[in-house]
Amino acid sequence: MPKLADHGQRRVQIAEALLRIAGSSGLHAVTMRSVAAEAGFSVSVVQYYFESKEKLLLFALRYLARRVSERVEARIRASGSPPTSRGVIEAVLAQALPTDAESRTFHLVYTAYAVLSVTDPALAAQPFMAAPDEMRAFLTDRIRAAQSAGEASPDLDAHAEATGLLAMSAGLGTSVLLGQVTAGDALSILRYHLDRIVPEPET
């Protein structure tokens, strides 16, 4: 039994080709043929590793979600050690802003999937929809922790602040994507609002 190919690696390779196409030409440009060509394989290979296009799309979505969460964790780690409340919160929120080419692709494709999921039950049932919920819970905890530590005003509604901030960073990310705001301006605005909730320890 010949076993030359690493299935997992092949699937990732193909999923990355899909993300490249969706990021540059839109999710509607993702076809079996275009993905195969981008990945340097024949259509049959794509068919072989993913039995249908739907399976491929779902796998690519899960892969995307994993990559995004990896980036969030990397950003938290890079925010300083030991991580401050403000640093962690800012890291999580800033991740929603398309600052480089990769995160721009991630944000665009993610949004395209989200729009699609509104009218596609199979996509809506996907666990990637739960990610924002987790983030909201995480942020709420962090804000409460900052309040306990005296780093944030105690009369803040942590839940309302977390949900609002998350929505704001997502909205800012979309604005950057649409070219209405530069990534730098978006980050400044995000920091401005954060300063009013969880100020920097020192300036």
Nearer to DNA, 4 or 178 (CB): 4
For residue 54, state whether it binds DNA (rule: CB under 7 A): yes
Footprint of a second copy (CB under 8 A)? 24-26, 28-29, 108, 111-112, 114-120, 124, 129, 132-133, 157, 160, 163-164, 166-172, 174-175, 177-181, 185-186, 188-190, 192-193, 196
Q: Say how many CA atoms lie within 13 Å of 141 toward its Cβ.
A: 8
Assess 1 for contact with DNA (CB under 7 A): yes
CA distance 76 to 87: 7
Assigned token pair, 123:
């996509």
Residues 132/180, Cβ–Cβ less than 8 Å: no
Nearest approach, Cβ of residue 1 and DNA (Å): 5
43 binds DNA (CB under 7 A): yes
Residue 45 binding result from a second copy, DNA, none, given CB thresholds of 5 to 8 Å by partner type: DNA
Name the segment binding DNA (CB under 7 A); options: 41-49, 80-88, 159-167, 177-185. Answer: 41-49
- Cβ-Cβ contacts under 8 Å for 74 (sequence gap 6 or more): none
Helix axes 183-195, 85-94, angle to 10 degrees: 150
Report in angstroms how near the CB of residue 190 gets to DNA at its nearest: 37
Q: Residue 67 and residue 71: Cα distance in Å, rounded?
A: 6
Type of residue found at 87: G
DSSP 83: P
| CA nearest neighbour of 170 among 93, 113, 118, 105 | 93
- The number of residues that bind DNA (CB under 7 A) is 24
Residue 84's binding partner among a second copy, DNA, none (Cβ under 5 to 8 angstroms by kind) is: none
Q: Look at residues 180, 105, 92, 76 and name the one whose alpha carbon lies nearest to residue 131.
A: 92
Q: Does 116 bind DNA (CB under 7 A)?
A: no
**Amino acid occupying residue 45:** V
Among 32, 131, 156, 177, binds DNA (CB under 7 A): 32
**Which residue in the set 41, 106, 110, 113 belongs to the binding site for DNA (CB under 7 A)?**
41
Residues in contact with DNA by the rule CB under 7 A: 1-5, 7, 10, 30-34, 41-45, 47-49, 51-54
